[in-house]
Amino acid sequence: MTRSFAAALLLSTAISLPVMAQDAAPEPTAEDYAAQGRAQLEARLNIARNEGQAKNLIIFIGDGMGVSTLTAARIWQGQKAGKDGESTETAMDSMPYSAIVKTYSHDYQVSDSAATATAIVAGIKTRSGMLGLKPAAMRGKCETAAGQDVPTLFEQAEGAGKALGVISTARITHATGASVYAHSVDRNWESNADLPAGAACKDIARQLVEWPHAKGLKVVLGGGRAPFMPNTQADPEYTDKKGSRTDGRDLIAEWKRRNPKGDYVWNAAQFAMLDGTKDTPIFGLFEPSHMQFEADRAKDKAGEPSLAEMTALAITKLQRADNGYVLMVEGGRIDHAHHGGNAQRALDDTIAFDEAVARALQMVNLDDTLVLVTADHSHVFTIAGYPPRGTSIFGMASVTEDGEPITAKDGKPYTTLGYANGPGAKVNEPRNDPSKEDTAALNYQQQATVPTAGETHAGEDVLLKAAGPQAHLFHGTLEQQSIYHIARHIMGMK
């Protein structure tokens, strides 16, 4: 399988389908649809199975990126470009192999990101809220952690001489990114200030800086300066904010002392000056907490790199390693937008995530690089009703032939996108009429059925896409921890 496979498959499956409800172009014919089907068949018949061993591994995790999010983001991506959204082909769509992944944790039907990330990188199911530990440990009980560490794929890859990187638009100490290097009975113990009084466990930020593996993490890029800074130190970007550490330690300064030739950056200008060809580590923290949503990134005070830009820099640097590399890239803010009942920001971040996948597929050689794209869990996010083809994804769910919204039993229409629970629900009062609101506004919260402070995760299976050596092993329905075992086998790690 060659470097250009993904692009070739994308081109072979995308026929020119005119936008239907958005302009007066003729509708696709039966022959158009048949040609599209034949093109997809031909592309699949021409896939050459790669039985080789992977030198490199990139794991993309779209946090909370369930199938409904993938579908809605695909439509929005096409509509933003003035094209037919429904038939749009994304970079993720272009990847040749797929599997369905179960997401339950050791103790919950609907899991959190810590347990799901642990399954992906450590090969076991654990308790929700815990990182890198066997389920014999108990969440929040530091004394139960002794002897329960589970080695992660990244720790094992470092032992095999591979270079390592982790990128996230969330705090780098947040659950998914932290799964690369941390072992903790509580995902929330990001700073020492979060630890219970008298607890002997190390906080997550400290675990990153003190990571005991010799070569360490070559690339660390994301949000979350506060857990690394003392609470007496002002943030460099927001002078009204300070660090969160109560132990007086400046972990950023400690990282610099441990890596005297390394580069620490916290804004877009500094990021732009980084040289990916240098064999020195990079540590980038672009916000006190999470990075900006993609829709808000251009307005950031100090500027932030995009997820695609961070991914490109990491690949440029890591691919210089003689023994290969392992990289995790998380689109962390898809999840946060969904929790806020804000579909447009979630979809914009999904599109930014897809752009990062596209950049990676353009840069790597799929003869020796395994690329996996998946989600840790889903959200209670729905695409409902019977909207005509070409209807704005943020519009009304059903309309008449004259374009008038079809009403529900309460006499009001409803939008295509919605949530089963979340802040968009009304408490003890009738729901709003969305046809009288700007449902395409960036800050619009889609209506929800059950009123909750924050929308919740969902428990259905998620999609995994794969390309590269032995990617065909990712098929059927998989337990989430099987991702680790299959990837490890493909990389020849004993």
Q: Which residues have CB under 8 Å from 482's CB, separation 6+?
A: none
What Rg value do the Cα atoms of the chain yield, rounded?
A: 23
β-strand pairing of 219-223 with 369-375: unpaired
> Considering 105, 111, 113, 378, which one is annotated as catalytic?
113
Q: Which residues have CB under 8 Å from 401's CB, separation 6+?
A: none
Answer yes or no: are the C-beta atoms of 421 and 456 closer than 8 Å. yes
Burial (CB < 10 A; 0-12, 13-18, 19+), residue 403, is: exposed
Backbone angles phi, psi at 128, to 5 degrees: -55, 140
Burial (CB < 10 A; 0-12, 13-18, 19+), residue 80, is: middle
Give the integer Cα–Cα distance in Å for 16 and 11: 10
**Partners of 285 in the beta sheet?**
222
Q: Give the CB-side neighbour count of residue 3, counting CA atoms within 13 A.
A: 6
Element (H, E) at 326: strand 325-331
- Is 113 labeled as catalytic in the residue annotation? yes
Tokens coding 97: 């192999």
**Partners of 477 in the beta sheet?**
100
Which residues in 376-397 are b (16+ Cβ under 10 Å) and which e?
A: bbbbbbbbebebeebbbbbbbb
Task: From residue 416, give the alpha-carbon distance in Å to each of 27, 87, 338, 397, 399.
Answer: 22, 18, 15, 4, 11
Q: Which residues are tagged catalytic? A: 113
